Structure 1
Amino acid sequence: MPNPADYEKLGAFYLGKVVDPQTMQASDELLLYDSQDLTTHAVIIGMTGSGKTGLGLALLEEAAMDNIPVLAIDPKGDLANLLLTFPDLAPADFRPWVDEAEAQRDGTTPDALAEQKAAAWQKGLADWGQSGERIRSLREKVDLAIYTPGGSAGLPISVLKGFAAPPPEVMDDADALREQVQGTVSGLLGLLGIDADPLRSREHILLSNLLVNAWQAGQSLDMPTLIAGIQKPPFAQIGVMNVDSFFPEKDRFELAMNLNNLLASPGFAAWTRGEPLDVGKFLYTQGGKPRVSIMSIAHLGDAERQFFVSLLLNATLSWMRTQSGTSSLRALLYMDEVAGYFPPNGNPPTKPPMLTLLKQARAFGLGITLATQNPVDLDYKGLSNIGTWLIGRLQTENDKARILEALQGASAGQSKADLDKLLSGLGKRIFLMHNVHDNQPVLFTTRWTMSYLAGPITGGGIKKLMSGAVSSQPSAVSANPQPATFNAQPAAAGKTMIPPGITEVFLPTSASNVQYHPQLLAVAQVHYSSVKQRVDVSGTLPLGVDVTDSAIAVNWDDAAELNVNPADLAKEPAEGATFAEIPTPLLNAKNYPKWAKEAAKYVANSKPLTLWQDPSSGVVSNAGESEGDFRVRAAHAGREGRDAKIAELRAKYAPKVAALQDRLQRAQIKVGQQQVQAQQAQLQTAMNVGAGILGALLGGGRRGVSLGGAASGVGRAMRESGDVQAAQAEAANVQGQLAALEQQLQTEVDQLQFGAGSDLTQIDIKAKASDVSVPLVALGWLPFTKDENGNLKPAWE
C-alpha cells in the first residue's frame, strides 16, 4: 500500500501504478506524472468501459491538489462527479447519488447499496494509500463550481458579454483578432442554422465588420446593439461596395428579425442571465483561490453547444494572451468527449480556436487535455502538438492502426510490433502512456479516484449539487474593500430641491427602474511614494459615506471606496428614477468645505496604499493590484521557482545518473555475455561427458582422455558460472548505487519549500498630508434596483 509521502511530491500527479508488460500485473512502482509536462498538452483515448473517465477525473483531482485551476468543458455530464467528494466517506453522503435501479437489480435497498458504495470507496482509497483526509484537503484547496450556460440547473453565464471588446493584446494582433471575430460570428450564425463561410457569406462578413468596427472604437456589443447595427450599419461601405449593394436593406432586415426572434424567445432568456464570460474569474475566486469550473453543456442542442464552446475557447485565447510567458503549468483546460468539436474534416466554429490553443498555449503555461473514445475524432494537425498520449482499450482494429501510425517514429526503442502488442493487451483501467519527455512508453493502471463515480450528472443532479451556491463574481459593491452603506429610506417619485452651492452627481447606471439613495461623495486625489518599495504612483479615491439627520459628525471610518470612475459621474439621473429622502446635513452647503478637509485628513491617516509580499517567492504586488490577483501571481511565481529549482537539481545530478546508467548498461551486457559463455561451457561439458560414456561402452583406448576432458569441462563450467554470479553482483551493485542516487535526488526535491502565498506580508505606504487633495465633495446619488425578492442591489457601473 502506498504511503502519502510516496506520492505527495512537488509538481507530481499521482495517476496510478506501473504495469509489467510481460505479466500485465501492477507493480509497486507508482506512476507520478510531472505536471510541467502538461504544458505540451495531453490526450486521453479509450472506448466506453476502458476507464477513461476515471483517469480524467484523477488527472483533474491531482491538478486541484497542486493548486492548479481548471476550466473543464463537459458535454456529457461525467465531470460533475468531481463534486461527489465526501471527506467523511459516510453512507449518508453516498445515498442521494446511488442508482436505485441498480439496487433493485441487485435485490437490495438503496440504503444498503449506499453502505456498500461507502465501504467500497473506503477500501479502494485505502488500497491506494488515500483517505478521507486527502479528500478534505482537495475540497479545501480549490473552489468547485458547475456552470450551465443557457440553463438554470447550475450557475448561469451571460453570453451577451461574449461580444465584449477583447483586450489590447488581441486587438493589436491581426491574426488573433480575425480568429476571435470568426469564431464569435460563426457560433452566433450557427444558432440561426446558418452554416456560414467567413469568406463568402454576406451574413458572416456583415456581422464581422460590425464587431470589428465597434471593438476598434473601444466599444462592446450586446444583442440589441448588434441587431440595430444590422439594420443601420455605422459604415457606408463593405470592401469597395456600398452596404446596400452588398447586402440590401430588405435582406438585412430579415437577418435582424431572425436575431431578434432568437433574443425574444423564452429559451434564449437563460443566456442573458448570470456571470459574464470571464475566464480569469472562472479560474480564480476574487480572493485568489484556485477554482475548478465545470461547464456542463449536456442540456444544450448541437448548435447551442458549438456556439457556447466557440465563445469560451475564444475567451480563453483572449485571457491567455494577457498572461506572461512561463514554462510552468499555470492552468488546465480540459474537454471531455471532444468528438465533433475538433474533427479532422470540416471546420466547426470550435476548431480554429482549439487549434490555436494547442499551438500557442504552451508558451503561456496553459495545458490542454482532450478526451475522446476514438482517435478518428481528432484533427491530425492538432495531435502533432500534443506531447502526452494516454491510450486505453480501443474499439476497433482501425482505431489501433491510427494510433500506431501516429505513434510510430515518436517512441524511441519501440517498434511498431512492440506497440501493437502493448495496445492489444490493454485491459480495463490499464493505459499506455507515451510522453515525449520520457525515454519510452509505459503501461500503468489508474488509481482509485477520490470522486465517487455516479455516472453522468445533469439537470436535477446539478441543481442538487449547486443548491445554495452563489456566484463567485463580486457585485458592483462587493468588489470594494468593504460594502457601501446607505440610508434605506422609502423612495419617492420626486427629488428634493438642492440649495445653491451644493454639487450633485449621479453614479453611472444602465439599469431601469432605478432607486437613488444619497451619500456624501468625496473624491480624493492622492500620491503615494516610497523609495524602499520603488513606488511612485498617483490616483483618485472615490469615497462614499452615510450622513444621517441624527449624526453630530460624519464617521469617516464608515466610508467605503466606491467602484466607479470619477470621470463617469453623471449630472443627470436615469429616466424614470425614484429618490430617497435627503438627510438635512447634506442640504447645508456650509458643511461641504469642512467635509473636504476631514476627507483629506482621513485619507492621509487611514487609507494607505497596501502592497503584499509573498515570503516564499519574494514577489511584491503592484500598485492597484488586488490581493486576490496578487495571490494568483505569487502562487504561479512559486510554481515557476519550484520548477526551476527541480530542474536545477536534476541538472546537477544528471552527469552522475548518466554515468551510473552507462555502467549499469555495460554491467548488464557483461552479465549476458557471461551467461552465454557459461551456457556454452555447460553444453561442451555435457558433450564431453556423453562422449566419454559412449567410448566406455564401445571400448577402445580413448576412455581416459574423454573422461579427463569431461572433468576439465566441469571445472570450466563452474568457473564460468562463478563469472556470471560476479557479473550479476556487479550489476546489482550499480543498480543499488543508481537507486540510492535517485533517492538522494528525490530527497533534495522533497526538501524544497514553496508556499502558495497563504501567509502574505502586508506593506502599508501612507501618503503625506501635502500629497492629498479633495477636489470634489458632493451629494452623490447611488443607483439601486430590486431583485426578485424585493431586496435592493447596487446598479452602478
Structure 2
Amino acid sequence: RWTADLWKKGLADWQQDGDRIKRLRAAVDMAIYTPGSNAGLPISVLKSFDAPSDAVLNDGDAFRDRIMSAVSGLLALLKIDADPINSREHILLSNILSNAWKEKRNLSVASLIQAIQVPPFEKIGFLDLETFYPSKDRLQLSMQLNNLLASPGFEAWMQGEALNIENLLMTKQGKPRISILSIAHLSESERMFFVTVLLNEVLAWVRSQSGTSSLRAILYMDEVFGYFPPTANPPSKTPMLTLLKQARAYGLGVVLSTQNPVDLDYKGLSNTGTWFIGRLQTERDKARVLDGLESASGSAGSQFQRQKMEAILSDLGSRVFLLHNVHEDAPVVFHTRWALSFLRGPLTRTQIKTLMDPRKNVSTETTAGTTTTAPAITTSTEQDLSQPPLIPPDIKQRIFTSSTLLPQGSRLVYRPGIIGLAKVRYADAKSKVDLWQDVALLTTITGALPETLWEDATPISPGNLDYDTEPAAQAQFAEVDSVLTRKTQYTTWEKELKTYLYQERPLNLWYSADPKLYSDPNENEAAFRARLKQLMREERDLQIEKLRTKYASRFDTIKNRIRTAEERVAREESQYSDKKLNTFLSIGTTLFGALMGRKVASASNVQKATTAARNVGRAAKEHGDIGRAKEALEIQQQKYAELEEEFQQELDKLEEPIHPEDLEIEEYPVRPRKSDLMVNEVAFVWLPWSVDATGISQPLYRLGGE
C-alpha cells in the first residue's frame, strides 16, 4: 500500500496518472520471450541458418558479414574461440553456409552436422579438403555440434515461433508490439550466440526496408557491456556496428545503455547522435565518456568544449542527466521524471512464467508470418519392407534428407509421397507486379490416394528441399500403391497441377484505397499495415513541416513586435525614472532655497518652482506612456498566445495517432495466365519417419511453410 501511494504521488507530481498507463497497455501488445527457456514465450533460433534475402545475397559485404556473424555465434555457443581468418572451424562452416546460401538452400542444425562430415566441396582455397581439415577432425567437430543438439537444454532453443523481426514488432492485425527478449537466465556463451543471431536478423530486416526519415522501430539493449568492447571482436560487434552506421536511414533507432562506460568501443559509438549521461563514479569513466563525446562531435562536424563539458559532468546529481545532441549547439541538463512503471527490478523466471502463461496458448494466433510445419504423429500398423519397392526408372524418384536425429530405440522407415515443382509468373499492371515464383507442393501417401491430390497437398518452401542420393543404411520402406508406379499417372498429375495452379493459386496481395497502395508479393497483412502506417506517418511529418514553415513567418513577425514593444516599455520606464529624479531634484532645490532664508517670491525661486511643477507633469506623462507601452506589449503577447493556440490546434489534427489495425484494406488476387505456368517435375518421394517399439511414428523431416 505504501509503495502504491508513493508511486501515485510521484506520478501526480509530474502530471501523470494511471490513465496514461492504461492507454499504453491498450495501444500496444506486450510480450516477454525467453530463448532457451519456456518460462516466457519460447522462440526458435534455427531460422538463423536459413538462406538470406536476395538483397543480402547480391551484396557481397552484407553476405560475408552475415556468414561471419552466424558462424561466430554458433562457435561461441560451442565455446570455441574462433578467429575468422585462422580458425579451421570458422573457415569450414563459412564455406558450408556460403555454398548452401548461394544455392538458396536453408540449413537445419542436423543438415549442418551432415555437411560437416561430408562437405559439398572437395577443396578449400587451393588445398584439398582432407589436407586442410581431415575427416577425423571434422567428425570431432560434428560430434561437438551433435552433443549440443542432443543435450536436454538445447531442445528449448528449437521450440516456439521462429525468430522473426516483423513478429516482434507487430501482431497479425498490425497492432504495435513491445517485445522483451530476456536473456538473464542464459550462460555467457548462450547470450553471445543469441544476441549475435538477433542482431543479424534485425540487420536483415533493416535492409529489406525502404529508406525513411521517420522512425519505424527502436532496438533497445539494456547493458551493452561485453558485446561492443574497444579491442576484442566478439561475433556481436560487427552487426552492432553496422546497425549503428546504417539503421537510422531505414527508420530503426538504436538505443544502447551501460553502467560500464570504460569498456566500450567509442570509435564505433561516434555514429551515435544523442547521448544521455548520468553521474559518473570515477575520473576514468569521465575521461572515456569525454573522449567518446569528442569523437562523436568531430564526426558530426560540430564543436566540442571539453572543459565546459567536464565541469557539467562533475556537477551532475542523482537522477540528473546531461543530454548531448551532436546536432545542437549546447548540451542540456535535465531531471528525470517519475517513472510510469513501477521499478520492480529484474523479474525471476517464475514471475515471467506467471505473466506469460495466459498467452502461451494464443501466441501463435497473434503473430504475423509463417511457422514451421511438419506432418502429424501417427500410429504405424503396416508391414515395412527391408528393400525399397521397385519404382520404374522413367519415374523421377527423390529421397528427403532427415532434419532430425533418429531417436534411440526407433527404426527408420521411408514412406511414399508425391512432390510437384512448378514456376508461376504473376503479372499485373495495376499493382506493378511481374515476378516468377517457385512453387513446391507435397502430398504424403499414408493409405489410399487422396481424391484431390494437389488440393490436399502441403505448400512448402523450395529453399527447404534437401535430398539424399541414397537411402540411409538399415532403413525400411513402406509398401507402395501400384498407382504410384505408373508413368501415365504422373503425366495426369502434371496436367492437374497446372490446372490447380491456374484456378486455385493466385498471388494474393493487399490493397488500400486511401492512401492508394498495393502490398509487395509475400508481404503479409501486418507488414502491409505497418508500411501503410509508415507512409501515412511520413506524409504527416511532411505536412507538419509545411505547417511549421507556414506559421514560422507569422511567429517571427509577432516576436519582432513583442521585442519592439519590450524595448519601448524599457525606454519609457527609463525616461520616467529620469524625469522622476529630475522632479525630485527641482523640488528639493526650491525647498532648500526657501529654508535657507531666501525670499520665497524671488524670481529664482519662482522659476525653480515652475520648473519643478513642469517636471511633475512630464513625469506623469511618462508614467502614462509606460502604461500605454505595456498595453501594446500585452496586445502582442496575446496575439502570440492566440497564434500559438491556433498552430497547436492544427498540429493536433495532424498528430492524431494512426492505428494500423483500423486501416481499411482488402485482398487483391493476381491470377496467372495459362501461358505463364511451367511444371518442372512431378516426382515420387521417399519421406523419412521414425517408428518406435509401440508403433508410434513421427516424421524426421521438417518443412517450412511458404
Q: TM-score range by the shorter chain?
A: 0.7 to 0.9
Equivalent position to 1:764, from 625, 649, 669 = 669
- TM-score, L = length of structure 2: 0.73
Question: Which moves more between the two structures, 270-279 or 327-336?
Answer: 270-279
Task: Give the whole-Å Cα distance in 2 for the aligned partners of 1:483 and 1:232.
Answer: 27
Alpha-carbon distance in 2 for matches of 1:436, 1:740: 34
How far 1:329 moved relative to its partner?
0.9
**Corresponding residue SS for 1:735:** helix
Per-residue deviation, residues 1-49 of structure 1 (Å, max 9, x unmatched) = xxxxxxxxxxxxxxxxxxxxxxxxxxxxxxxxxxxxxxxxxxxxxxxxx
CA 280–611 in structure 1, closer or farther in 2 if over 3 Å, else same = closer
For 2:347, the equivalent position in structure 1 comes to 457
In structure 1, the residue matched to 2:540 is 642
1-side partners of 2:614 and 2:219: how far apart? 71
CA 1:748–1:383: 2 relative to 1, 3 Å: same
The alignment's TM-score, normalised by the length of structure 1, stands at 0.66
Q: Distance in 1 between matches of 2:84 and 2:147?
A: 23
Q: Deviation at 1:620?
A: 0.3
Structure 1 letter corresponding to 2:546: E
- Structure 1 pair 228/325, CA: closer, same or farther in 2 (3 Å)? same
Asked if 1:386 is matched to 2:266, the reply is no
Pairing partner for 2:220 from 334, 345, 351: 334
User: What runs of 5+ residues in structure 1 fail to find an aligned partner?
Assistant: 1-112
Deviation, 1:750, is 3.2
SS in 2 for 1:614: strand
Matches within 5 A, 1:255-654: 278-285=164-171, 288-302=174-188, 304-342=190-228, 349-373=235-259, 376=262, 379-392=265-278, 395=281, 406=293, 431=321, 433-435=323-325, 449-467=339-357, 469-470=359-360, 488=378, 490=380, 492=382, 494=384, 509-513=402-406, 526-543=424-441, 554=451, 559=456, 561-565=458-462, 568=465, 575=472, 601-654=499-552
Query: Does residue 1:658 correspond to 2:526, yes or no?
Result: no
- Which residue of structure 2 lines up, in the alignment, with residue 735 of structure 1? 637
Q: Deviations over 1:732-773 (max 9, x none)?
A: 433333343343333333334755264212222344567667
Work out the percentage of aligned pairs sharing the same amino acid. 42
Q: 1:294 to 1:483 in 2, by over 3 A?
A: closer
Q: Deviations over 1:425-451 (max 9, x none)?
A: 877656554556667666666555554
The offset of 1:534, in angstroms, is: 3.7
Q: Any idea what the Cα deviations from partners look like across 1:697-740, whole Å, max 9, x if unmatched?
A: 55557665665555444444444444444444444433333343
Q: Deviations over 1:584-606 (max 9, x none)?
A: 98799887776666665554444
Contact 1:330 1:636 in 2 (8 A): yes
1:456 to partner: Cα distance: 1.5
Sort the Cα spacing of 1:730 and 1:278 in 2 relative to 1 into closer, same or farther, 3 A: same
Select between 752-761 and 409-418 the one with higher mean Cα deviation. 409-418
Is the contact made by 1:393 and 1:423 (CA closer than 8 Å) also made in structure 2? Answer: yes
Q: Secondary structure of 1:463's partner?
A: helix
CA displacement at 1:680 relative to structure 2:
4.5
1:516/1:680 Cα in 2 relative to 1: closer, same or farther (>3 Å)? farther
Distance in 2 separating the partners of 1:419 and 1:233: 58
SS in 1 for 2:168: helix
Matches of 2:58 and 2:437, distance apart in 1: 27
TM alignment of 1:172-187, pairs within 5 A: 173=59, 175-176=61-62
Question: How far has the Cα of 1:665 moved from its partner?
Answer: 3.9
Q: Supply the distance in 2 between the matched residues of 1:621 and 1:722 (Cα, whole angstroms).
A: 70
The equivalent of 1:210 in structure 2 is 92
CA contact 2:373–2:703 (8 Å) conserved in 1? no
**Which deviates the most, 129-138 or 635-644?**
129-138
Q: For each residue in 1:275-318, what CA deviation from the matched residue of structure 2 results, as whole angstroms up to 9, or x when unmatched? A: 65554443345665543222223234555544543443344334
Distance 1:403 1:603, change over 3 A: closer
Q: Deviations over 1:47-98 (max 9, x none)?
A: xxxxxxxxxxxxxxxxxxxxxxxxxxxxxxxxxxxxxxxxxxxxxxxxxxxx
Which amino acid is 1:217 matched to? N
Residues 655-678 of structure 1 deviation map (CA, whole Å, 9 limit, x = unaligned): 333333344444444444444444
CA distance in 1: counterparts of 2:24 and 2:666, whole angstroms: 25
Gaps of 5+ in 2: 407-411
Q: 1:142 Cα shift?
A: 3.7
Q: 1:118-267 maps to which residues of 2 (within 5 A)?
A: 135=21, 137-157=23-43, 162=48, 166-167=52-53, 169-170=55-56, 173=59, 175-176=61-62, 202-203=86-87, 206-219=88-101, 225=112
- What displacement does 1:361 show? 1.9
Deviations 1:517-539 (A, max 9, x none): 76776666655444444444444
Instruction: Give the Cα–Cα distance (whole angstroms) in 1 for the partners of residues 52 and 99 of structure 2.
Output: 11
Question: Are 2:68 and 2:94, in contact at CA under 8 Å, matched by a contact in 1?
Answer: no
AA aligned opposite 1:629: A
Which range moved further: 616-625 or 762-771? 762-771
Secondary structure at the counterpart of residue 611 of structure 1: strand
Provide closer, same or farther for how the CA distance between residues 119 and 422 of structure 1 changes in structure 2, counting only shifts above 3 A: same
Q: Deviations over 1:534-574 (max 9, x none)?
A: 444444544567999899x8368963551232994859896
Q: Which residue of 2 aligns with 1:796?
A: 703
Count of equivalent residues: 673
Aligned equivalents of 1:343, 1:482: Cα separation in 2? 36
- 1: CA distance, partners of 2:425 / 2:129: 51
RMSD: 5.6
Aligned residue for 2:271, secondary structure, equals coil
C-alpha separation between the residues in 2 aligned to 1:144 and 1:712?
A: 79
SS at 1:316 equivalent: helix
CA distance in 2, matches of 1:548, 1:230: 33
Larger gyration radius, structure 1 or structure 2: 2
Q: Deviations over 1:374-433 (max 9, x none)?
A: 755654435543333445555578877887894999999999999899878877656554
- Three-state SS of the structure 2 residue aligned to 1:763 is strand
Task: Give the letter for the 1:796 counterpart.
Answer: L
